[in-house]
A and B are shown apart, each in its own frame.
Chain A
């Protein structure tokens, strides 16, 4: 997997501090631009909007560094071409044969498949679907894309923050695999929800009442009561962000020291 990312970028891992403009241009000149496809399944478009909030890096990114070769509204193409990376937004509806087919095809044609956003990564709020709605009452079963295909990396978030998208892009440009490791690991985190805090942190004698989970929850489904997270199930969209941000779920010590200059 790591080799594949490096190979696709045509570079060996040589972590640099930040992607300077010159470096970006150099990469753009020297390497064939990676071909990116955007596959939009059952998601709200929030993920690509979050990406586009990176105004400062977006223009050079789109014009100089990558080729968008496929994607509704992004490229005027009907046939899915070969791609280096497929970014998938949204969960996949098992009853929607077009979505299933598009996802399968993306896996075949893309070197790497990235689940962008919680719907693709964990199913997020589409997990609540039970069918019986318009436009198609038969559309009932929405699952994270990893249920159907092998996913190489995930960027959960509802939506993932503009910053994490930018940081990931920079890491990919620099071949900084250490930074990307959590994204690779998170590809396996497909059954998520606020109750993970109780099962995987509090029940495991790990919670220290820091409140990071409640700070991170975008829907305010979490309160802190007697120093422990208390979940309001009705508000939870099962994005997994609370557990992912908890300092007691996984701990990227080296990266943090580096970022702080310690």
Chain B
């Protein structure tokens, strides 16, 4: 179960031309949030919105579809989305919050919901958590190094960044530059090295590009809430589906990468334990299933 528990796995993409244009992959995150907002399933959403600085995201409370769309596209650097939940609930007074989270952020939310020690009246206001896949994340200065030193491009000219097919891709208006993903090693944030979760196993609906052809997304529908919302969005025509390829470039690849992330992290966790360093997770010897997310 290296992909966590799910009710459904499929390929999907937004049917909205505008969302298709601005989104990272199939636009599932943006399409689902916009749909949920229209249908009043949520009354606002926390997203990684733009800041004053290009490519440096700022967690933002999006109150309209335009706000949600302004946050489309992956920013490969830290955006502490969970932080903004407080503003969403306390300042904006939202009762039903949607949020996009990478796996570790999903974990912070789920822990808060199960054990809300000091967090009052927040746990029940998370109406929809869209999890996005994540292999690793980078401090902003690492990203700057990739763009200026490795790709040799001016930050302001970059239109899209992407990781896939073993490469880090930098798109400008008239150029596509890439360098091997290997060259990013050593630039990732350290906390990622013990992360066991590629596919946001604890989200309501998770989505990523691995296992999907260009401009489509792989989607796992996980919780009851996720199932209800996803079905509505598909029935309403906001999202179109096609079956995921079981083979080498589909499910097989997703499973392989999820497994290899877990194996790598388990090794680091075991090493840290042997050195007496803290880790919140169990050592492989303490686990029934060494690849479980615990």
Which A residues are closer than 8 A to B by beta carbons?
A: 50, 118, 155-164, 167, 182, 200, 204-212, 214-216, 218, 224, 226-227, 239, 241, 244-257, 259-262
Binds A, one of B26-34, B119-127, B153-161: B119-127
Given known A215-B82, A247-B280, A255-B114, contact A208–B189 (CB-CB < 8 A): yes
A208 & B112 in contact (Cβ 8 Å cutoff): no
A215 to B83 alpha-carbon distance, docked (Å): 4
B294 & A251 in contact (Cβ 8 Å cutoff): yes
A226 to B58 alpha-carbon distance, docked (Å): 10
B118 & A156 in contact (Cβ 8 Å cutoff): yes
Question: Interface on chain B toward A: helix, strand, loop, or mixed SS?
Answer: loop
Chain B, 37-95, CB within 8 A of any chain A CB: 59, 77-86
Query: What residue in chain B is nearest A244 (Cβ atoms)?
Result: B117
A214 & B117 in contact (Cβ 8 Å cutoff): no
**B243 located at the interface, meaning its Cβ lies under 8 Å from any Cβ of chain A in the complex:** no
A227 & B139 in contact (Cβ 8 Å cutoff): yes
A160 & B117 in contact (Cβ 8 Å cutoff): yes
The smallest beta-carbon distance between B77 and chain A, in angstroms, is 7
The smallest beta-carbon distance between B188 and chain A, in angstroms, is 11
A162 to B121 alpha-carbon distance, docked (Å): 8
A207 to B280 alpha-carbon distance, docked (Å): 11
Binds A, one of B11-19, B178-186, B192-200, B229-237: B192-200
- Point out the residues of chain A lying under 8 angstroms from B119, CB to CB: 161, 215-216, 241, 245
A157 to B117 alpha-carbon distance, docked (Å): 6
Given known A205-B191, A245-B108, contact A157–B78 (CB-CB < 8 A): no
Contact of A209 among B86, B110, B189, B292 (CB under 8 A): B189
What's the count of A-B pairs with C-beta under 8 Å?
A: 169
The smallest beta-carbon distance between A79 and chain B, in angstroms, is 34
B111 & A205 in contact (Cβ 8 Å cutoff): no
A212 & B113 in contact (Cβ 8 Å cutoff): no
**B260 located at the interface, meaning its Cβ lies under 8 Å from any Cβ of chain A in the complex:** no
- Point out the residues of chain A lying under 8 angstroms from B190, CB to CB: 205-206
The smallest beta-carbon distance between B51 and chain A, in angstroms, is 12
**B261 located at the interface, meaning its Cβ lies under 8 Å from any Cβ of chain A in the complex:** no
- Point out the residues of chain A lying under 8 angstroms from B293, CB to CB: 253
B278 & A247 in contact (Cβ 8 Å cutoff): no
- Point out the residues of chain B lying under 8 angstroms from A206, CB to CB: 190-191, 194, 278-280
B85 & A215 in contact (Cβ 8 Å cutoff): yes
Q: Which 10 A-B pairs have the closest CB atoms?
A: A211-B80, A227-B78, A211-B83, A241-B118, A212-B108, A253-B294, A208-B191, A157-B118, A209-B78, A161-B120
